[in-house]
Amino acid sequence: MLEWKDIFTGRTYHFTGEGLKRVRKHVAGLLAQRIKAGSGLKDVADKAARFWAKEYYELVFPLRLDAPEVEKIDGSVNFRSRKQDPGFPPILPAPGSRVTETLLADAVVIRTALLNLLLRQRKVEKELLNAVRLASLVSPLAEELAKHLLSWPKEVELLLSAFQGRAPFPRDVDGDLVRAVSEAVFSPLEVQSLPDELGVTLVIGAVQRVKQYVFASPGLNEIRGASALLDEITESLERDVESELGVEVLLRAAGSRLEFLVPDEEEGEYWRKKIKQRFFERTGSSLVATAASSVKIKKLLTEFQEVLRRANRELEKERNLVFPVAGEALPFEERCSICKKRVAEGWYQTPEKQLEPACRVCYTKREKGRELRCRMVEKLGEEVVDREVFVRLEPPDSLNELPPENLAHKWVAVVYGDGNNFGGVLQQKIDKLASALQWTQRIKRVTWKAAAQALREAMNSEEASRELKRLPFQMLLLGGEDISLFAWGPVGLHFARYFVELTDREFAPAQDVKERISFSLGVLVTDEKAPVFRTLNFTEEELLKWAKRAARERGYKRGGTIAFFLAPSADQIPGDLENFLRRAFLKPGKVMNLCLTLRPLSAEELGFLIDKARELRSYSGSLLRLATAFIKGSPKVATLLYLYQKGRKKEKELFDELEKIEKVPPTLCELMFPTFFSSERKVFGTDAQKEGSYHFSALVDLAELLKILG
């Protein structure tokens, strides 16, 4: 029985002989559809490469978000044919050993990329090069593809026979080279037999100070436009690499960062200049660092982390030499009315139909934001079956359009998320190029799918059921390890809960795996007038780091964490979060020490508290008074008030509802009101209780959630 081990969770999937035949047949059928749609040798090779390098991974990942719980693949399993389908992922392990961590797609893409680049070094004619590419891409499933009656050019037929070992390679193709590369990729033990002189060049291009560029202008159109423009430029360069070199050479294109392989250093320098020029011409101000590092194929295949570290050191050197373009206006020059820094170069029309001066950078961002306002929403809609939830409403033009009209408080949630200890965990798990390729595709697919499903759940929530005139969210960063969005307060909270819940499910580890992959999110809920840069900076630098510290203190064993904070206005955003938390939420006393918050929370804990807050909605005034007593008074006095109010007949329904604790998460099994003791829980999730033992209360968390939910 063949086994494929998910290197990132430790889970193992077992294939019976019939199950392996079924998945090979299914994948071959999908590949045949792409081949039949091609016209000309290069187009067919490109379509086959695109299938293995992109489309196949879209079918496989995510593995566990909405797939049935199957760990034994036999002849009865139904596989996905589209990324929205509910079937099982068509996991197809690479051949070569009984237990493997490599997918066939990993091996096929890497082999084809290396042969592509090595043959380019040898100046092989393009027609023959594309024939070798195509033969490399289809030969692993040649037997299954034969049943689809595909018509191959003569040179491809000869090469297919050669790849299968039934005939020699044509004279113009170095057969020894092809066999050596194939054996090294499909049989890792053979890597050391590769000739030492074989090498390629790794090119990296990365935009610097992305946040500074995206959020330099306060308007939602400018922010959305800056983010969309960086994505658009990255995608245009990605298309150029695919067109000129082949889809298979691209290792990463996400988060304004490109990583790909080229034949030699001369080609690397060409791409470095092209990347810099493209970003600067299109944005007018973004800073880009690039590096081109030559690497031996032996090291590329087996020591990819070391290869990447070396390339990143070169990138760091250039980063230190990249300086912002001088853009400050002189005293006698007209300033841009948007950023209020750069020299105005023209005019733009405000929503009030007034003409205002604008610099080229801000004007470009604004127009791009208006042009592409629906683009990311449409892409999110492609991830789910019921996409109408995303496309039935227009995106907002400003932050005050995120909440519905006629609300007493127009709460806006600023959400910023990041992976927990990705560097440390992945450094242990990713040592091979195949693992790196798999991770790049997986994290991109998981974040998109989880974000789409989390937003769908948030849009279908009880709070979002009221009449909305605009979409109550605007996604800003998505696709890599970072995620950022603005949303109406309740939608932002629900999104955080479901996103962490879904990513926890995807990366749920096997029993013997100690560290798990997870995400942490910071969520600031404030009014729509708060300055964008300040709110985002506080969310990323304070709340997100708080959530990540809590995950680290737990040993990364319990999944992701969420740190939310309610600041009714910008003036109430603390300058020093740690000191604020200690002053506001820690209550030392003679009878007991009390912590007035359970934050940061797991997704399950946040979901439980949100549900409890909904149940208490009709008692919000009384609950707020109880929470205020604990915030302003001593624990002893506040507890006496709680017991007094509980004894009053008038408040009986409130306390019956509050103290009815059902379906409580395991981490809150000790929960009681007004306070409870937990030996496992840490103050603010981060401090090993050095000040002595603490009791906890969830009343303040419930009161703040009630304010946000409305």
Q: Please write down the HEC assignment for all residues of 365-400.
A: HHHHHHHCCCHHHHHHHCCCCCCHHHHCCECCCCHH
| Answer CATH for 381-573 from 3.30.70.270, 3.40.50.10540, 3.50.50.60, 3.30.1330.10 | 3.30.70.270
| Burial (0-12, 13-18, 19+ Cβ within 10 Å), 264 | middle
Q: What is the pLDDT of residues 479-490, one digit of tens each?
A: 778 899 999 999
CA–chain centroid gap for 443, Å, is: 6
Q: Tokens 């992959």 sit at which residue?
A: 517
pLDDT at 324 over 60: no
CA-to-CA dists, residue 102 to 17, 31, 94, 490, angstroms: 18, 19, 6, 41
pLDDT at 352 over 70: no
pLDDT, residue 325, reads 55
pLDDT, residue 558, reads 84
pLDDT at 521 over 70: yes
Give me the half-sphere count of Cα atoms (radius 13 Å) on the Cβ side of residue 26. Answer: 23
**Which secondary-structure segment (H or E) carries 676?**
strand 676-677
CA dihedral 265, 270, 275, 277 (to 10 degrees): 140
Question: Going by CATH, does the domain composed of 198-373 fall within 3.40.50.300?
Answer: no
pLDDT bucket at 204, cuts 50 / 70 / 90: very high
Which residues lie closer than 8 Å to 95 by C-beta, 6 or more apart? 104, 140, 186
SS (H, E, C) 653-673: HHHHHHCCCCCCCHHHCCCCC
pLDDT bucket at 142, cuts 50 / 70 / 90: very high
Q: Tokens 């595909």 sit at which residue?
A: 150
Mean pLDDT, residues 543-568 taken together: 92
Q: What is the pLDDT of residues 275-310, one digit of tens each?
A: 999 998 888 777 889 999 999 999 999 999 899 999
> Under a CB-based contact definition with an 8 Å cutoff, are residues 561 and 519 in contact?
no
Mean pLDDT, residues 666-670 taken together: 92
Lowest mean pLDDT among 56-70, 178-192, 677-691: 677-691
The b-or-e profile of 168-204 (16+ CB within 10 A means b, else e) is ebeeebbeebbebbbbbbbebebbeebeeebbbbbbb
**Which secondary-structure segment (H or E) carries 280?**
helix 265-283
Q: In the chain, helix, strand, coil percent, each to 5?
A: 50, 15, 35
CA-to-CA dists, residue 52 to 291, 354, 641, angstroms: 27, 52, 66
Paired residues of 520 in beta bridges: 418, 561
Domain parsing of the chain, residue ranges: 2-193, 198-373, 381-573, 575-710
Token digits for 439? 């991770």
Q: Tokens 């940061």 sit at which residue?
A: 600
pLDDT at 564 over 80: yes
pLDDT, residue 238, reads 96
pLDDT, residue 594, reads 92
pLDDT at 692 over 80: no
Sheet containing strand 561-566, edge to edge, reads: 473-477, 483-488, 411-419, 519-527, 561-566
> Under a CB-based contact definition with an 8 Å cutoff, are residues 610 and 709 in contact?
yes
pLDDT bucket at 185, cuts 50 / 70 / 90: very high
DSSP-derived letter for residue 470 is B
Question: Where do the DSSP E strands lie in 143-256?
Answer: 199-208, 250-254
**How far is Cα 436 from Cα 404, in angstroms, rounded to an integer?**
43
Q: What is the pLDDT of residues 246-263, one digit of tens each?
A: 999 999 998 889 999 999
Token digits for 697? 């209360």
| Burial (0-12, 13-18, 19+ Cβ within 10 Å), 127 | exposed
Q: What is the pLDDT of residues 411-422, one digit of tens each?
A: 999 999 999 988
Q: Among residues 102, 109, 91, 106, which one has the least CA distance to residue 24? A: 91
pLDDT, residue 690, reads 55
A 10 A CB-CB count for 122 gives 12
pLDDT, residue 193, reads 85
Q: Among residues 464, 708, 700, 451, which one has the least CA distance to residue 598? A: 700
pLDDT bucket at 46, cuts 50 / 70 / 90: very high
Token digits for 681? 């829980």
Lowest mean pLDDT among 132-141, 256-265, 356-365, 422-431: 422-431
**How far is Cα 36 from Cα 8, in angstroms, rounded to an integer?**
35
Beta pairing, strands 695-696 & 594-595: parallel
CA dihedral 484, 486, 487, 491 (to 10 degrees): 20
| Burial (0-12, 13-18, 19+ Cβ within 10 Å), 231 | buried
Q: Tokens 């999944």 sit at which residue?
A: 559
Share of the chain above pLDDT 70, in %: 97
Mean pLDDT (the chain) is 90
A 10 A CB-CB count for 345 gives 15
**How far is Cα 442 from Cα 454, in angstroms, rounded to an integer?**
18
**How far is Cα 299 from Cα 196, in angstroms, rounded to an integer?**
10
Judged by DSSP in three states, 510 sits in coil
